[in-house]
Amino acid sequence: MFQHLSSKRCLAFTVCLALSTLLTAAPSVAGSRILGTGAVSAIEGAAGGGLSPWAVLTSTASEGELSVTASATRAWLDDYRLSVIGTSVNIHDRMEFSIARQTFELTTLGGELEQDIYGAKARLFGDVLYHPLGIWSAGILHKRLVDGTVPTALGADDTSGTDAYISASKLLFNAFFGRNVLVNSTLRNTSANQGGLLGFGGDQGGRGWEAEGSVGVFITPNWIVGTEYRQKPDNLSVAQEDDWQSLYSAYFFNKHVSLTGAWLELGDIAGLPSQRGGYVSLQAAF
């Protein structure tokens, strides 16, 4: 779907769309769920923090409602730049489908890696606000590298792969100085190297379970600040891989527009050490 548009044009389009929505936001077309309960768009397209998919489904669509989101994300690391554009749909707060195109520019080494990610997530049971056990969801992320030459040369077994995950999210009311706290944990079965950008599997291993978690405090109903952690595999002997972590701040202007900023610590990537940097993501929901 994004093949014919350059990612820059798509990014500009998404930004314009989001900003015009911000100015003309009509509450009547928003979903019925409470502001912020749809989280933001994670870098793989599913609703989540930034690094990890969460159990909540995108936007604020509730029972009997439909909603579509579009997002644009950019991360500036020491030697790389990641751009993601994505879109997702929430059907009756039961199913979420997402598509994302990641472009990973190797600003130091030269060149770029691209992959498309097709996601589906189903709410199994519960609710992030009302259920004592929170909300539980299961999902898959099918990833396909556009050009697998570099990952294959580095020793990756495959140029496409599928992650499967189970995730739980729960809002704890009045849990921290009178503020609500959102906790999430995700267990992911994956063989993806650096999320799939460096292919799937390798000489040091293949598919395995990885744990991810986050905790955030809603300073106000519109503003959440938190941290996220994502365990990663380490399948390629020539390119050591580290766990990812972030400090994030997400602001929900209304049910239509959110802006997320984060500080990323992604460790070694493709032979270049301790990659750190900033992250900005804009999401619009209709």
Partner 1 sequence: MRLTGIAIRHLVLTCILFSVLSLAGCAQRHDTPTLYERMGGQSTIEAVVENLLYRIADDDEVVSYFANTNIDLFATSFATQLCDISDGPCQYEGPPMDRAHQTMGITDAHFNRVVAYLDAAMQEEGVPLSARNDMLGRLAPIYEDIMRLQ
Q: What residues make contact with partner 1 under the rule CB under 8 A?
A: 31-35, 62-65, 93, 127, 129-132, 172-174, 177-180, 220-221
Closer CB to partner 1, 104 or 218, in the complex: 218
Q: How far is the CB of 279 from partner 1 (least distance, A)?
A: 28
Closer CB to partner 1, 92 or 142, in the complex: 92
Closer CB to partner 1, 89 or 154, in the complex: 89
Closer CB to partner 1, 34 or 140, in the complex: 34
CA 205, 206, 207, 210 torsion: positive or negative? positive
Q: How far is the CB of 67 from partner 1 (least distance, A)?
A: 12
Q: How far is the CB of 175 from partner 1 (least distance, A)?
A: 8
Q: How far is the CB of 62 from partner 1 (least distance, A)?
A: 4
Closer CB to partner 1, 129 or 259, in the complex: 129
Q: Tell me if residue 196 falls in helix, strand or coil.
A: helix
Closer CB to partner 1, 173 or 209, in the complex: 173
Closer CB to partner 1, 189 or 222, in the complex: 222
Question: What's the burial of 23, exposed, middle or buried (CB within 10 Å: 0-12/13-18/19+)?
Answer: exposed
Closer CB to partner 1, 112 or 127, in the complex: 127
Q: How far is the CB of 223 from partner 1 (least distance, A)?
A: 11
Q: How far is the CB of 130 from partner 1 (least distance, A)?
A: 3
The tokens for 243 are: 């766990």
* DSSP annotation string for the chain: --TTS-HHHHHHHHHHHHHHHHHH--GGGS-SSPTTTT-EE-TTSSEESSSSB-SSPSTT--TT-EEEEEEEEEEEESS-EEEEEEEEEEETTTEEEEEEEEEEE-TTT--EEEEEEEEEEEEEEE-TTTSTT-EEEEEEEEEEES--HHHHHTT-SBSEEEEEEEEEEEEEEEEETTEEEEEEEEEEEE-BGGGGTT-B-BTTB--EEEEEEEEEEEEETTEEEEEEEE------TTS----EEEEEEEEESSSSEEEEEEEEEEEEETTEEEEEEEEEEEEEE-
Q: How far is the CB of 129 from partner 1 (least distance, A)?
A: 6
Q: Cα–Cα distance between 9 and 224 in angstroms, integer?
A: 30
Q: How far is the CB of 151 from partner 1 (least distance, A)?
A: 43
